[in-house]
Structure 1
Amino acid sequence: MIDIISGVLATADSTPGRTALIAPDGASVTYGALRDRLLTVAHALHDTDDFGVLFAVRPGPDAVALALGAVAAGGTLVLADPGLAPEVFAGRMAHTRPRWVLAESLLYLLSGPLKGVARRRGLVLPNLREPFPGARHLYTGPWLPGVPRGALRLDGLPAVPGGPLAGGLPAVPGGPGVGGRVTSDQAAVVAFTSGTTERPKGVVHTRRSLAAGLRLFTEAVPLGPGDVVHTDQFILGLPALIAGATWSMPGRGDYASELARRGATHAFSVPVRLHALLERTPRLPATLRCLLLGAAPAPPAVLRRARQAAPAADILSVYAMTEALPIAVASAEDKLAATGGDLLGAPLPGVGVRVADDGELFVNGPHLARGYLGDPPLTEVATGDLVRLDADGRLVLLGRKKDMILRDGVNIYPGVYEPAIAALPGVGEAAVVGLPDPDTGDEEVVLALTATAGYDEKLVRKALPDLMDAPALPDRIVTLAELPRKGRSDKLDRAAIRRLVAR
Structure 2
Amino acid sequence: MSHFLDGLAQRARETPSAVALRWFGGRDGARVREELTFADLAGRVERTAAALRAQGLERGDRVLFSIRPRPEGVVLCLAVLRAGGAVVFVDPGSTPELFAARLAAARPRWAATEALLYAASSGPLRRVARSRGLLLPDYGRLPVRHLYSGSWLPGVPRGARRVARLADGVAGTGSGDADLDAVALVVFTSGTTSDPKAVVHTARTLGGMLDLFRQVGDLRPGQRAHTDQMFLGLPAVLAGGTWEIPARTPRDAPEAFARGVAGADSSFLVPADVTALLDVLEARGGAAVGPAVLAVGAAPVTPALLARGRRVLPGTRWLAVYGATEILPAAVTDADEKLAAAAEGDLVGRPLDGIGVRIDPPAAEPGGEPGPEPGDGAAVGELVLTGPSLMAGYLADLDAGRPPATEHRTGDLARQDAAGRIVLVGRTRDMIIRGTVNIYPGLFEPRLRELPGVADAVLVGVPQPDGDERVVLVVTAEGRGVADGAERVRTGTPLVRSVTERLAGVLDHGALPDVVVEATHVPLAGRSRKPDRRLLVDWVTPVAGTVRA
Q: TM-score, normalised by structure 1?
A: 0.76
SS at match of 2:351: coil
Q: Which residue of 1 aligns with 2:415?
A: 388
Alignment match of 1:139 (pick from 129, 138, 148): 148
Please say if 1:70 is aligned against 2:90: no
Q: Distance in 2 between matches of 1:380 and 1:44?
A: 37
Q: Which residue of 2 aligns with 1:421?
A: none
Alignment match of 2:351 (pick from 337, 343, 347): 347
- Which amino acid in the other structure matches residue 105 of structure 1? A
- Which amino acid in the other structure matches residue 12 of structure 1? A
Alignment match of 2:386 (pick from 357, 364, 382): 364
Q: Distance in 2 between matches of 1:329 and 1:269?
A: 14
Matches within 5 A, 1:315-330: 315-330=318-333
Q: Which residue of 2 aligns with 1:23?
A: 23
Q: Distance in 1 between matches of 2:109 and 2:9?
A: 25
Compared CA separation, residues 439 and 151, structure 1 to 2 (3 A): farther
Q: Distance in 1 between matches of 2:110 and 2:384?
A: 35
- Which amino acid in the other structure matches residue 258 of structure 1? G
Q: Distance in 1 between matches of 2:58 and 2:287?
A: 50
Matches within 5 A, 1:84-103: 84-103=94-113
Q: Which residue of 2 aligns with 1:443?
A: none
**Cα shift at 1:2:** 7.1
Compared CA separation, residues 2 and 51, structure 1 to 2 (3 A): closer
Q: Which residue of 2 aligns with 1:192?
A: 188
Compared CA separation, residues 140 and 232, structure 1 to 2 (3 A): same
Compared CA separation, residues 437 and 363, structure 1 to 2 (3 A): farther
Compared CA separation, residues 437 and 322, structure 1 to 2 (3 A): farther
**Cα shift at 1:501:** 8.8
How many residues are matched? 412
Q: Which residue of 2 aligns with 1:221?
A: 217
Q: Distance in 2 between matches of 1:436 and 1:101?
A: 46
Please say if 1:152 is aligned against 2:153: no
SS at match of 1:378: coil
Q: Which residue of 2 aligns with 1:291?
A: 294
Q: Over aligned residue pairs, what C-alpha RMSD do you find? A: 2.9
SS at match of 2:141: coil
SS at match of 2:357: strand
Alignment match of 2:44 (pick from 21, 37, 42): 37
Contact 1:187 1:207 in 2 (8 A): yes
**Residues 237-287 of structure 1: per-residue CA shift (max 9 Å, x gap):** 110111111111122441212223xx4111122223323322331377546
Matches within 5 A, 1:297-446: 297-338=300-341, 339-358=343-362, 359-375=381-397, 376=402, 377-402=404-429
Contact 1:35 1:162 in 2 (8 A): no
**Cα shift at 1:397:** 1.0
Contact 1:256 1:285 in 2 (8 A): no
SS at match of 1:81: coil
Q: Which residue of 1 aligns with 2:244?
A: 248
Compared CA separation, residues 361 and 439, structure 1 to 2 (3 A): farther
**Residues 5-51 of structure 1: per-residue CA shift (max 9 Å, x gap):** 22223222322221111214132222222223212221122244311
Q: Distance in 2 between matches of 1:362 and 1:368?
A: 11
Q: Distance in 2 between matches of 1:50 and 1:266?
A: 35
Contact 1:53 1:78 in 2 (8 A): yes
Compared CA separation, residues 470 and 106, structure 1 to 2 (3 A): farther
Long gaps (5+) in structure 2 = 26-31, 363-380, 432-473, 480-487, 489-524, 544-549
Larger RCO (CA within 8 A; separation ≥ 6): 1
**Residues 199-256 of structure 1: per-residue CA shift (max 9 Å, x gap):** 1111000011011111112123211222111111111111011111111112244121
SS at match of 2:36: strand
Compared CA separation, residues 494 and 362, structure 1 to 2 (3 A): farther
Percent identity (aligned): 44
Contact 2:119 2:155 in 1 (8 A): yes
**Cα shift at 1:403:** 7.0
Compared CA separation, residues 198 and 181, structure 1 to 2 (3 A): same
**Cα shift at 1:299:** 1.8
**Cα shift at 1:146:** 1.1
Alignment match of 1:80 (pick from 84, 90, 94): 90
Compared CA separation, residues 437 and 19, structure 1 to 2 (3 A): farther
Contact 1:83 1:470 in 2 (8 A): no
Q: TM-score, normalised by structure 2?
A: 0.70
Compared CA separation, residues 300 and 470, structure 1 to 2 (3 A): closer
**Residues 348-388 of structure 1: per-residue CA shift (max 9 Å, x gap):** 11111111212221111121000000213111111121111
SS at match of 1:139: strand
- Which amino acid in the other structure matches residue 350 of structure 2? A
Alignment match of 1:122 (pick from 130, 133, 148): 133
**Cα shift at 1:498:** 4.4
**Cα shift at 1:162:** 7.5
**Residues 167-219 of structure 1: per-residue CA shift (max 9 Å, x gap):** xxxx52xx4xxxx3222212110001011222111100001101111111212
Q: Which residue of 1 aligns with 2:537?
A: 496
Q: Distance in 2 between matches of 1:66 and 1:436?
A: 47
**Cα shift at 1:439:** 7.8
Q: Distance in 2 between matches of 1:270 and 1:215?
A: 20
Q: Which residue of 2 aligns with 1:107?
A: 117
- Which amino acid in the other structure matches residue 215 of structure 2? E
Compared CA separation, residues 136 and 365, structure 1 to 2 (3 A): same
- Which amino acid in the other structure matches residue 43 of structure 2? D
Please say if 1:207 is aligned against 2:210: no
Compared CA separation, residues 160 and 392, structure 1 to 2 (3 A): farther
- Which amino acid in the other structure matches residue 128 of structure 2? V
SS at match of 1:361: strand
Please say if 1:279 is aligned against 2:279: yes
